[in-house]
Amino acid sequence: MPNSDGLLELEGKIVAVLPGTMFRVELPNKYVVLAYLSGKLRKNFIRIIEGDVVRVEIDPKDLSQARIVYRVRNAAAQAPAGPLKRSMPPRRK
């Protein structure tokens, strides 16, 4: 779906991590594009690994390149499985 800048915004999955903060991203239509990190992700040291789901912006004039603008959080990996376990006993006052 195009946004206000005329860029297509899609979600895809990281299939390969390349040097220089470049990635291969597989889109929902099984098309693979070369993607790079946006400045905000680089500035805030957002780590992206193989298998992550990301949101990319693609220019309709060049469909072979994309910019990664957001890493979608994985709710299953973020939620703890059971009660939290402390590695240290509670602090005394």
Structural domains of the chain, with CATH: 8-74 (2.40.50.140)
Q: What is the pLDDT of residue 58?
A: 94
SS3 43: helix
72-83 pLDDT per residue, tens: 987 555 555 556
Q: What is the pLDDT of residue 12?
A: 94
Q: Please give the C-alpha separations between residue 26 and each of 14, 29, 31, 52, in angstroms, as whole numbers.
A: 6, 8, 6, 11
User: Which parts of the chain sit beneath pLDDT 70?
Assistant: 1-2, 4, 75-90
Q: What is the pLDDT of residue 87?
A: 64
Are the C-beta atoms of residues 72 and 26 closer than 8 Å to each other?
A: no
Q: What is the pLDDT of residue 32?
A: 95
Region class of 45: left (phi > 0), else alpha (psi between -120 and 50), else beta: left
Residue 85 to residue 93: CA distance in whole angstroms: 21
